[in-house]
Homo-oligomer: A and B are copies of this chain.
């Protein structure tokens, strides 16, 4: 009972990070292959495809997960489930700070982080730094659910490398959020010691920042090194977890950092007005309660 299917798109080989849309029984699929596992979605059609200066950008209309954004064949988000990732990467650092006014967002060209940041009334200025303007242009048009209100005058967008951008600022931001891709040629600078030293200068003394920090199931060594490096520079370095169904394994980690505030403590209870689907005050605290194997990863 063998069937033949076709891989319709596969940008890169060897296969460490490549995607395929395959069809079977008349269906089309988008597949992200991450090492020895893969996550796939049944799709209706491809809506957008562009090779930017930095990466392959594609948007698909899926059968039941809304639109899907891929960068270099890696699924960045599904519209149906993106709220988990964007809420947890945004509202944890913003709620761990008593009153974040100046917020820096690095990466997140799909707009989801800025959309969440703007829900906080105390925020006065959002500097949105994305290296790839083509991601922003594609998202603005094809991922309207993700996009923030561009009439909101608090946002300034800068299309440049976040690593260079932070060098120009000093003692300015209350909060920073780093929403970058898996460590790769584009994003590895955003996990480097030099970047964190620059970021520390760009932040105010009592700032809180957060970065996505990969999967505790599949990137334990990465997390261990990241935390060791951050603990050299900052006082509080805390891992927290959320359910992110569109990333391999569905368990994603974030790291929240501060020299002043313990990140697991909520200092600004506004979640009722944030209209969240995932985040709440109680979940903020419990997201820092880690499974035993994850405690071992971050125990230093």
Bound CA–CA A278/B292 (angstroms): 5
A68 to chain B, nearest CB (A): 11
Bound CA–CA A124/B101 (angstroms): 59
What residues of B have a CB within 8 angstroms of the CB of A248 in the complex?
245
Report if A251 contacts B (CB, 8 A). yes
A217 nearest in chain B by CB position: B245
Choose from B38, B241, B276 the contact partner of A39 (Cβ within 8 Å).
B38
Number of interface residues of A (CB under 8 A): 59
What residues of B have a CB within 8 angstroms of the CB of A289 in the complex?
282-283, 285-286
Choose from B14, B31, B249, B293 the contact partner of A278 (Cβ within 8 Å).
B293
Bound CA–CA A237/B6 (angstroms): 47
Given contacts A3-B6, A40-B31, A64-B35, contact A278 B250 (CB under 8 A): no
Report yes or no: A20 in contact with B31, Cβ–Cβ below 8 A: no
A216 nearest in chain B by CB position: B243
Interface string of A270-300 (1 = CB under 8 A from B): 0000001111101101100111110100000
Give the 8 A-B residue pairs with the shortest CB-CB distance, closest first: A250-B250, A286-B286, A245-B249, A243-B251, A38-B40, A286-B289, A36-B42, A36-B63
Give the interface of A toward B (CB within 8 A). Answer: 1-10, 13-15, 20, 22, 24-25, 27, 29, 31, 35-42, 62-65, 81, 83-84, 217, 241, 243-245, 248-251, 276-280, 282-283, 285-286, 289-293, 295
Beyond the given A2-B6, A4-B7, please list 12 additional residue pairs across the A-B interface where CB-CB is below 8 A.
A1-B10, A2-B7, A5-B5, A37-B41, A38-B39, A81-B217, A243-B243, A243-B250, A250-B250, A276-B292, A280-B292, A285-B286
